[in-house]
A and B are shown apart, each in its own frame.
Chain A
Amino acid sequence: MSYQFDFSFLYDYWPDLLAGMRLTIGLSVLSILFGFIFGSACAIARVHGGKTLRTIVGCYVDLVRNTPLVVQAFWLFFGMASMGLKIGAFWAAIITLVINVGAYTTEIIRAGLESIPRGQKEAADCLALRRWQVILYIELPQAVERVYPALVSQFILMMLATSIMSQISVEELTGAAYGIQSMTFRGFEVYVVVAVIYLVLSWLTRTMFEVIARIAFTRRRLRTPL
């Protein structure tokens, strides 16, 4: 094998990678934040809504969870463009990601909501709370705490999935890597470096959510099971 590994491109193209990294983080943070809010709302609708609303949310969840993210992105991005709607690749990516992670979040939080003991709702009702107050102050916080590990796994998958948005010309980390690759013809080295960056980002995401848990779920410090 005569191939010589050469990582010297890093010196010249580091700013590109940095810019890509910034976009990846931006995409991830926005889509996770809004996806969580949207997914929570849908989960509540799925559990407490009327029959029509429950069916609509159910169809949305099934449709999104049984088709690939890339196809969803293409559909939205190229479809919008063909209709003359220019929302820009970045926002098309955000919308796709929110819709996508929202569907998974809906299912996870729904499971959490359904696992809350009946007595909790009964007690809250008996304290004269309104229905939305019971949901917002009693059910949702407990549901999120119960399914938190599953949510975090889903959010990390989401962060990794932003890499596909280079396909609709969002120059995030993978897009930046592709650009560098096509200029240096050092494909393997570029992607090794990018893979390491993603590993670090995964680890950072996990750590960040652990910190959030420690702040949000005070009683976790007690180390007692739910």
Chain B
Amino acid sequence: MTALVTFKDVHKSYGTLPVLKGVSLTVPEGRVVALIGRSGSGKSTALRCINGLETIQSGTLEVCGRKLHEANCDLRHLRMEVGIVFQSYNLFPHLTVEQNVTLAPRLTGKASQAEAHEIARKVLEQVGLAEKAKAYPEQLSGGQQQRVAIARSLAMQPRVILFDEVTSALDPELTAEVLKTIEQLAQSGMTMVLVTHEMSFARRVADEIIFMHQGVVWETGDGSMFDNPQTPELRQFVGSGL
């Protein structure tokens, strides 16, 4: 099993404030990895490093065979293989759902007009929103918008998708529908990295859970690590209900 994402002793700081203090982790192909931890633990920053939204200062980071620690790394081609879904959806408000989904495949030359249309139909069906193709983002609920954002990512046929706290802005009932979509995606064998606050969801869906604390990987395990935390920090984190 090949690793799609490999962090080796990655450091990053904002100005004088260190955020990642030697992170090492791997994400094998076909696996679902959840990053958990308090806010400020570096989990979101680590995620954003994976598709080059943040640059690292030392260590090595390889994603889909590309070396992100090297200055001349081609981010555009990297991003054809790494999708991301944001907390705030970031759909393009001036485009319909279908246009949102087909924009990137068309403009990057991955698909012709007709192919893009076919892709849109497929991925929108996958997230259960085929009937909303002609709608504008603001006509949809938050949960539906987030599912469109997932579809937009899928349309690029990425090798790995990153999820950055994608349900944090949603009401509980809307959260459920988005989580269901992600779960189905996990079952289809998509490689995924998720930063999440939904512990029970992480436990159910993730093959591996990584607990980050103070900028390093503190504890790693599968779902059972919540029942039997090895470190006082994780025990406290689990106990706090977060």
User: Do these two chains really belong together in a complex?
Assistant: yes
Q: Which residues of A contact B (CB under 8 A)?
A: 117, 119-120, 122-130, 133, 137-138, 141-142, 145, 217-219, 222, 224, 226
- State the Cβ distance, A209 to closest chain B Cβ, in Å: 18
- Cβ A125 vs Cβ B79 within 8 A: yes
Across the two chains, which residue of chain B brings its CB closest to A142?
Answer: B94
B93 in complex: contacting residue of A122, A124, A142, CB < 8 Å: A142
Known: A222-B138, A222-B139. 6 other contacts (CB 8 A): A128-B76, A129-B108, A130-B76, A137-B103, A145-B94, A219-B136
Q: Tell me whether B167 is interfacial, beta carbon within 8 Å.
A: no
- Cβ A128 vs Cβ B92 within 8 A: no
Pick 17 A–B contacts, CB within 8 A, sort by A.
Answer: A119-B86, A119-B88, A120-B90, A122-B86, A126-B51, A127-B79, A128-B79, A128-B104, A129-B103, A129-B107, A137-B103, A142-B92, A142-B93, A217-B94, A219-B93, A219-B94, A222-B136
User: Which A residues touch B151, using CB under 8 A?
Assistant: none
- Cβ B76 vs Cβ A126 within 8 A: no
Q: How many A-B residue pairs have CB under 8 A?
A: 62
Between A217, A219, A222, the greatest number of chain B beta carbons within 10 A of the residue's beta carbon is seen for: A219
- Cβ A126 vs Cβ B138 within 8 A: no
User: Which A residues touch B83, using CB under 8 A?
Assistant: 126
Interface of A: prevailing SS: helix
Question: Do A122 and B53 contact each other (CB < 8 Å), given the known contacts A127-B104, A133-B107?
Answer: yes
User: Which B residues touch A137, using CB under 8 A?
Assistant: 103, 107
Bound-state CA distance A25–B83 (Å) is 50
B156 in complex: contacting residue of A117, A128, A133, A218, CB < 8 Å: A128
Between A119, A127, A130, A133, the greatest number of chain B beta carbons within 10 A of the residue's beta carbon is seen for: A127
User: Which A residues touch B53, using CB under 8 A?
Assistant: 122, 125-126
Bound-state CA distance A224–B139 (Å) is 9
User: Which B residues touch A133, using CB under 8 A?
Assistant: 107
Q: Tell me whether B5 is interfacial, beta carbon within 8 Å.
A: no
Bound-state CA distance A125–B80 (Å) is 10
Bound-state CA distance A123–B136 (Å) is 17
**Chain B, range 54-110, C-beta contacts under 8 Å to A:** 75-77, 79-80, 83-84, 86, 88, 90-94, 96, 103-104, 107-108
Bound-state CA distance A120–B88 (Å) is 10
Q: Tell me whether B197 is interfacial, beta carbon within 8 Å.
A: no
Bound-state CA distance A127–B80 (Å) is 7
- State the Cβ distance, B94 to closest chain A Cβ, in Å: 5
Bound-state CA distance A127–B136 (Å) is 19
User: Which A residues touch B84, using CB under 8 A?
Assistant: 126
Question: Do A127 and B103 contact each other (CB < 8 Å), given the known contacts A122-B53, A219-B138, A222-B139?
Answer: yes
Between A117, A122, A128, A219, the greatest number of chain B beta carbons within 10 A of the residue's beta carbon is seen for: A128
**Chain B, range 137-186, C-beta contacts under 8 Å to A:** 138-139, 152, 156
3 shortest A-B CB distances, which residue pairs? A123-B90, A127-B104, A128-B79
- Cβ B107 vs Cβ A123 within 8 A: no
- Cβ A120 vs Cβ B79 within 8 A: no
User: Which B residues touch A119, using CB under 8 A?
Assistant: 86, 88, 90
User: Which A residues touch B108, using CB under 8 A?
Assistant: 127-129
Question: Do A123 and B138 contact each other (CB < 8 Å), given the known contacts A128-B77, A128-B80, A137-B107?
Answer: no
Bound-state CA distance A186–B222 (Å) is 94
Across the two chains, which residue of chain A brings its CB closest to B79?
Answer: A128
User: Which B residues touch A120, using CB under 8 A?
Assistant: 90, 92
Across the two chains, which residue of chain A brings its CB closest to B108?
Answer: A128
- Cβ A126 vs Cβ B93 within 8 A: no
User: Which B residues touch A122, using CB under 8 A?
Assistant: 53, 86, 90
Bound-state CA distance A222–B93 (Å) is 12
User: Which B residues touch A138, using CB under 8 A?
Assistant: 92
Between A126, A141, A222, the greatest number of chain B beta carbons within 10 A of the residue's beta carbon is seen for: A126
Bound-state CA distance A222–B138 (Å) is 9
Bound-state CA distance A124–B93 (Å) is 12
